[in-house]
Chains A and B, each alone.
Chain A
């Protein structure tokens, strides 16, 4: 099967709009080239607003990290794209259709906590579920399906655990299995909610290698994450979210102190050349922080690399994610 997006280049990433979402590019052009396209979308749960005025155009072959504090609307954004949540207003297009229409070409992986891990299914059973929608009613999994499941399990290094009940897996193994289920469905668009949260560094790197490989094959990958160093280092692009798209651009953008401040609020400290430390817990002078950074609406997008008093260690960079956890 040839992929419809194979011919598309990745060079668009270089002239993506500066801070302030996709509104900067010519709207028609963005829409035509986008796998995922949102225009002035407002959404929420019940009467609680979660996202407001979201504009976003994600091109085929993108490897996009969605970052932002808790309650910023990261999961909501994924659910909108997955068709699990209807927007209150605005338009969403996914693979050229309304959300849900091209559902079989979309693999959505929810956060780990949303399923019952004591459920009586094995690793292989779960990955096979990725094949169910395409099989249709009545048809049982055939040889191709078993082959796809085995291939997906090998890709995430879980083949030896195929017969294990999922409750016996570690947190990292669970994320691997869920990614394998997504891979087994051979989608054009991956929507992953916190795929590398709470896993060890080896697992994180392996999972990111796989996602990178899928993006290189022209698949579109959109993943939420709390882990800013991973977002900056391993993704091509980043969308910083806080109730709306605060910034959208090359992944290194997330290290820009103004972007950080506008995304996370409060006082943000950037240490070292590569890593960002968010230190909200120690700086409660939020109003001051906002004042310092919020007047610069029209600043250019060159990410600033601030030199801190000392380079951050790996451990500290892990903390960056967990510190932001405390919010919302």
Chain B
């Protein structure tokens, strides 16, 4: 019990906990669509593309959230445009853009004279260093994302499942597609401080992927993803505190472990149940 309550006496830990719950929720909600749309690679790309934005924010002395936001949203929309307007294969386009953007960030970073520790922490995240001011902006941005998803719930679902029929029946599928890319970009921006550029895609993908193994109903799947995302974030945060190890990595490892469990034990795609089915077959 002490193990659970004791950390909560520290203000920084409570802030980290709130951030973990926020990031876990937003990532799971948006991640559910990301997984169903097969856009995991775009998440990876957009998170790396945020790096030059962070460097720019540092150089021009503007809030990190703004720099990362502009770079991430810009890249997401750029990828959307390239996919829709050119004949380049989607994965190729994403690969070129994301590594290019990341290289730009590293190039610029290396050109800055002197040591920039703050920037480096964005690569791997530092949820325990989140300030009250940071937290307020994160909550505002996270709430905005959740409200947009809630408002456009039906439309996003239809456009994700059957974009052709949805478009033919009058839904602005192209617009929804771009809007969704913006949501992915903002979700990544919200999560950067907590888990960092390198790991953020796991927060986006893993809870939803786990839930997909466990539920065949869209609403329940999303709810389950949120439970897994938030639960994993809280558990991971505690574990990192107890073991005194990197918080972002620990959170991701917990979520990955839950995914592994679902994969083996899950009722639908579970490896164990598949073997049971196999032996019961005549």
Contacts and interface: CB of A to CB of B under 8 A. Distances in A.
A133 B169 contact: yes
B227 to A, nearest CB: 16
B interface residue count range (under 10 / 10 to 19 / 20 to 34 / 35 or more): 20 to 34
Contact of A120 (B151, B155, B169, B217): B217
A132 B218 contact: no
A138 interface: yes
Interface residues of A, number: 35
Summarize A's interface: helix, strand, loop or mixed: mixed
B164 A121 contact: no
Contacts of B87: 46
Interface string A44-60: 00100000000000000
B68 interface: no
Interface stretch (A107-115, A196-204, A235-243): A107-115
Contact of A115 (B152, B157, B161): B161
Contact of A185 (B36, B169, B212): B169
Nearest to A83: B168
Contacts of A107: 165, 168-169
B165 A110 contact: yes
Contact of B216 (A108, A140, A165): A165
Contacts of A116: 36, 161
Given A135-B154, A137-B151, A122 B217 contact: yes
Interface in A57-81: 79
A247 interface: no
Contact of B162 (A106, A129, A133, A135): A129
Contacts of B162: 110, 114-115, 129
A115 B161 CA distance: 7
Given A103-B169, A108-B168, A120-B216, A132 B158 contact: yes
Interface in A128-162: 129-130, 132-133, 135, 137-138, 140
29 contacts: A82-B167, A83-B168, A84-B164, A84-B167, A103-B168, A103-B170, A108-B168, A109-B165, A110-B162, A114-B162, A116-B36, A119-B160, A120-B212, A120-B217, A120-B218, A120-B221, A121-B217, A122-B216, A129-B157, A129-B166, A132-B154, A132-B155, A132-B171, A133-B170, A135-B154, A137-B155, A140-B154, A167-B216, A191-B168
Given A104-B170, A121-B218, A165-B216, 5 more contacts: A82-B168, A109-B165, A115-B161, A116-B36, A129-B161
Interface of B: 36, 87, 151-152, 154-155, 157-158, 160-162, 164-171, 212, 215-218, 221
> What are the nearest 9 A-B pairs in CB distance?
A103-B170, A108-B168, A82-B168, A165-B216, A133-B169, A110-B164, A132-B154, A129-B158, A133-B170
Interface of A: 46, 79, 82-84, 100, 103-104, 106-110, 114-116, 119-122, 125-126, 129-130, 132-133, 135, 137-138, 140, 165, 167, 181, 185, 191
